[in-house]
């Protein structure tokens, strides 16, 4: 902060200083120094609390449990041989991919349906449909936990009403996997809806008029006008959601805590159990580091497509 | 000539019928739309509704297996009263408020300055930095919490709210900077030129022009930072251990569940009150809330 004062104080006389070239020169130099200072807090946050911990995690993951000895890639190799960890990898992929597909589909349908409504009613419906996204997931998952309670489940009460047998929502691996995905879809679908709705509103009406003149049916309009125009937003939303869902923690942690028999653990919750609860920090870092290459591959594929399409549109 | 007019007349007759069928089709589409919306509204609002119903029940009514879980027989506010008068609930609420307010303030200062510099002053490395902001998405919180656990322990902030204030900006600053870059870039360059001619320095330019003009964006970013800080769960879960230091997201479950006894009425009442601040912000500032959500993708 003291540096900032020193630098801006001579700035005022510099603005009235007569020599023209020198002034411009100094202005440019002053401007970039000032800009650097303005971004310094951002650099500190990203460098100190994101980049540094990331590399520190790589270092930590190469130590032994007591953190006294360098063991290279032993932790990673050890994890790959563990059956539990193989479950974690599969469960994370199944969880993220199926939840994102379901969220994208529901969001797409809801956005379309909302878009056909008259503007006045749209607001009210949109307001109600976005509620799951607004409630903090750690809070709303408590409500789902209670809905899935083994004895008092209100869902089972309704199932009994129609004569169906009660379901052990969180006690049986298959149902527990379904339950965590369901809650994630419930929480995340409104986000897709709102992104698609914004995208739909940005498609120019002339395109639809032109398509209508060419005799396009509703399906053809969707296939050849709407989807191509929205492709970039769909890609970015899917990428963002894939990262967030893959790295999810709260829903699984509260609902099942990885159980039954570690079948619903995903990277985040397993890393927490290994690293914080069992105190094996290096192994925990290794678990969470497995996420990074997977996310990076997703991102490279999606973003390459996005930049290619943006260039096509500009060119 | 006459043939042409005849075919025109002939074509117009079925065309009228077609208009009628289109209108009917449209009406059915609208009815279908309302049905689909109603189904999803029920699905989306069921958990909060059940939360409300449970929070209004006494423990004996909740424990009664013969009763209907979806309706309240004898509504009572005892869960809310108990929460507010005994236990640490109010303390957790206060902690959440403190952490959120401080984090929002820090976030907005950092991201407004950084976005101004990145949007308007091209400087060495600015493009790299803008990409770097984006890349932080690839390093999620679930990857960072273990090294941060060591770092926080190393600087003696374990089980301390200050650790939350230090760490939360990593979740809010990148996206808020991103939103603000978008809003600042959309301000016409002529405005800054006019300000420069009038002899304004960069701080005056930011304060007198950019902040007032981009106020909707600032509000959207503030709301985003607020909701993220209020909802954060992993970091408090990993770094806070004693109940009096906890924030709402972890405090409710850790205080109201003792072994196998779940005080569901109180848990639901506490959860509902914890969900109230973001819901209220959303109810009153819905347009800004949505602008903040969609800004990143529609501009990027």
The interface predicted TM-score of the complex, written ipTM, equals 0.87
Instruction: For residues B79 and A173, give the distance between their C-alpha atoms in angstroms, rounded to a whole number.
Output: 34
Task: Judge whether B108 lies within some domain.
Answer: yes
CB atoms within 10 A of CB A149: 17
- Could you state, in chain order, the average pLDDT of each consecutive group of 10 residues for chain A (315 residues)? 37 43 63 84 92 95 89 91 93 95 95 86 90 94 92 88 88 93 96 91 87 86 87 88 92 90 92 93 94 90 83 70
pLDDT (mean) for B248-257: 86
The answer to whether residues B46 and B98 belong to one domain is no
pLDDT (mean) for B205-218: 90
The two three-digit tokens of residue A145, written as one number = 């936990």
- For the structural domain made of A74-314, what CATH number should be given? 1.10.3720.10
Domain ranges, residue B118: 87-299
Q: Do B268 and A136 touch (CB under 8 A)?
A: no
Domain boundary assignment for chain A? 2-60, 74-314
Mean pLDDT of chain B: 86
Confidence class of residue B300 from pLDDT cuts 50, 70 and 90? very low
The answer to whether residues B148 and B221 belong to one domain is yes
Instruction: For residues B136 and A43, give the distance between their C-alpha atoms in angstroms, rounded to a whole number.
Output: 12
Q: From the list B30, B110, B139, which residue is nearest A50 (CB)?
A: B139
Instruction: For residues A125 and B232, give the distance between their C-alpha atoms in angstroms, rounded to a whole number.
Output: 27
- pLDDT tens per residue, range A247-284: 999 999 999 988 788 899 999 999 999 999 999 999 99
Instruction: For residues A85 and A266, give the distance between their C-alpha atoms in angstroms, rounded to a whole number.
Output: 9
Percent over 90 (pLDDT), chain A: 50
Inform me whether the C-beta atom of residue B75 falls under 8 Å from chain A C-beta atoms: no
pLDDT (mean) for B205-226: 91
Mean pLDDT of chain A: 86
Tell how strand B261-262 and strand B257-258 pair up: antiparallel
**Stretch 101-140 of chain B: residues touching chain A, C-beta under 8 Å:** 109-111, 113-114, 116-118, 121, 123-124, 126, 129, 132-133, 136-140
- pLDDT tens per residue, range B131-156: 788 788 888 999 999 999 999 999 99
Length of chain B: 300
The pLDDT, as a whole number, for residue B5 is 42
pLDDT at B183 over 80: yes
Task: Judge whether B77 lies within some domain.
Answer: no
The answer to whether residues B49 and B96 belong to one domain is no
Quote the minimal CA–CA distance from A97 to chain B in Å. 17
The two three-digit tokens of residue B100, written as one number = 């959120």
Instruction: Write down the pTM of the prediction.
Output: 0.87
The answer to whether residues B127 and B18 belong to one domain is no
The pLDDT, as a whole number, for residue A3 is 38
Residues of A in contact with B169 (CB under 8 A): 45, 49
A63 pairs with which residues across the strands? Answer: A70
- pLDDT tens per residue, range B240-252: 999 889 999 999 8
* Residue to test with chain B: of A27, A50, A51, most B Cβ within 10 A: A50
Q: Do A143 and B65 touch (CB under 8 A)?
A: no
pLDDT at B55 over 60: yes
The answer to whether residues B25 and B103 belong to one domain is no
The two three-digit tokens of residue B46, written as one number = 């069921």
The answer to whether residues B282 and B177 belong to one domain is yes
pLDDT at B298 over 70: no
- Can you tell me which residue has the tokens 């914890």? B274
The pLDDT, as a whole number, for residue A25 is 61
Q: Do B169 and A45 touch (CB under 8 A)?
A: yes
pLDDT (mean) for B278-288: 91
State the Cα torsion B106-B110-B111-B115 to the nearest 10°.
160
Number of domains composing chain B: 2
Residue A194 is inside which H or E element, if any? helix A173-202
pLDDT (mean) for B282-298: 79
Inform me whether the C-beta atom of residue A106 falls under 8 Å from chain B C-beta atoms: yes
The answer to whether residues B223 and B108 belong to one domain is yes
The two three-digit tokens of residue A179, written as one number = 């339950």
Q: Where is mean pLDDT largest: B7-21, B43-57, B284-298?
A: B43-57
Task: Judge whether B74 lies within some domain.
Answer: no
pLDDT (mean) for B58-66: 85
Inform me whether the C-beta atom of residue A254 falls under 8 Å from chain B C-beta atoms: yes
Task: Judge whether B76 lies within some domain.
Answer: no
Task: Judge whether B159 lies within some domain.
Answer: yes
Task: Judge whether B50 lies within some domain.
Answer: yes
Q: Do A268 and B142 touch (CB under 8 A)?
A: yes
Inform me whether the C-beta atom of residue A49 falls under 8 Å from chain B C-beta atoms: yes
């Amino acid at each position: 902060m003291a540096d900032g004062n020193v630098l801006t104080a001579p700035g005022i006389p510099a603005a009235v200083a007569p020599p023209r070239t020198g002034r411009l020169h100094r202005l440019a130099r002053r401007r970039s120094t000032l800009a650097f200072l303005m971004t310094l807090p951002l650099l500190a946050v990203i460098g100190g609390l994101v980049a540094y911990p990331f590399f520190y995690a790589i270092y930590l993951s190469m130590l032994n449990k007591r953190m006294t000895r360098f063991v290279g890639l032993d932790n990673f190799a050890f994890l790959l041989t563990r059956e539990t960890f193989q479950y974690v990898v599969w469960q994370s992929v199944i969880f993220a991919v199926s939840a994102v597909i379901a969220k994208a589909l529901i969001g797409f349908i809801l956005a379309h349906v909302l878009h056909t409504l008259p503007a006045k009613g749209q607001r009210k419906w949109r307001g109600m449909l976005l509620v799951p996204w607004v409630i903090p997931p750690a809070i709303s998952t408590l409500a789902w936990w209670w809905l899935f309670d083994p004895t008092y489940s209100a869902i089972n009460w309704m199932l009994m009403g129609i004569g169906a047998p009660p379901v052990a929502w969180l006690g049986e691996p298959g149902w527990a996997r379904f339950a965590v995905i369901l809650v994630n879809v419930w929480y995340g679908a409104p986000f897709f809806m709102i992104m698609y709705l914004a995208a739909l509103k940005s498609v120019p009406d002339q395109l639809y008029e032109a398509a209508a003149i060419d005799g396009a049916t509703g399906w053809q309009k969707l296939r050849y006008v709407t989807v191509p125009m929205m492709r970039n937003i769909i890609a970015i939303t899917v990428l963002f959601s894939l990262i967030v869902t893959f790295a999810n923690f709260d829903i699984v942690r509260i609902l099942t805590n990885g159980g039954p028999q570690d079948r619903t653990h995903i990277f985040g919750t397993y890393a927490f159990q290994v690293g914080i609860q069992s105190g094996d920090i290096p192994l925990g870092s290794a678990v969470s580091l497995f996420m990074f290459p997977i996310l990076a591959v997703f991102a490279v594929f999606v973003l390459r497509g996005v930049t290619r399409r943006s260039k096509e549109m500009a060119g | 000539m006459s043939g042409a007019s005849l075919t025109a007349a002939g074509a117009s007759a079925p065309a009228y019928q077609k208009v009628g069928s289109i209108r009917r089709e449209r009406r059915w589409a609208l009815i279908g739309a309302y049905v689909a919306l109603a189904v999803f509204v029920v699905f989306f609002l069921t958990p909060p509704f059940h939360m409300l119903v449970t929070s209004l029940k006494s423990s004996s009514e909740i424990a009664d297996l013969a009763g209907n879980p979806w309706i309240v027989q004898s509504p009572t506010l005892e869960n809310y009263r108990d929460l507010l008068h005994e236990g640490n609930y109010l303390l957790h609420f206060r902690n959440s408020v403190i952490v959120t307010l401080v984090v929002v303030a820090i976030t907005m200062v950092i991201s407004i300055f950084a976005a101004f510099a990145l949007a308007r002053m091209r400087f060495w490395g600015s493009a790299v930095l803008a990409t770097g902001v984006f890349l932080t998405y690839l390093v999620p919180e679930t990857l960072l919490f273990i090294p941060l656990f060591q770092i926080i322990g190393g600087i003696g902030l374990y089980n301390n709210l200050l650790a939350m204030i230090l760490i939360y900006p990593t979740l809010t600053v990148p996206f808020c900077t991103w939103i603000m870059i978008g809003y600042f870039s959309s301000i016409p360059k002529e405005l800054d030129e006019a300000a420069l001619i009038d002899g304004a320095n960069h701080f005056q330019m930011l304060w007198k022009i950019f902040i007032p003009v981009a106020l909707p964006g600032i509000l959207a970013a503030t709301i985003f930072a607020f909701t993220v800080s209020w909802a954060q769960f992993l970091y408090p879960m990993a770094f806070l251990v004693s109940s009096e230091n906890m924030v709402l997201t972890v405090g409710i479950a850790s205080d109201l569940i003792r072994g196998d006894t779940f005080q569901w009425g109180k848990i639901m009442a506490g959860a509902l009150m914890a969900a109230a601040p973001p819901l209220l912000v959303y109810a009153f500032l819905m347009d800004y809330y949505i602008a903040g959500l969609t800004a990143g993708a529609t501009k990027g």
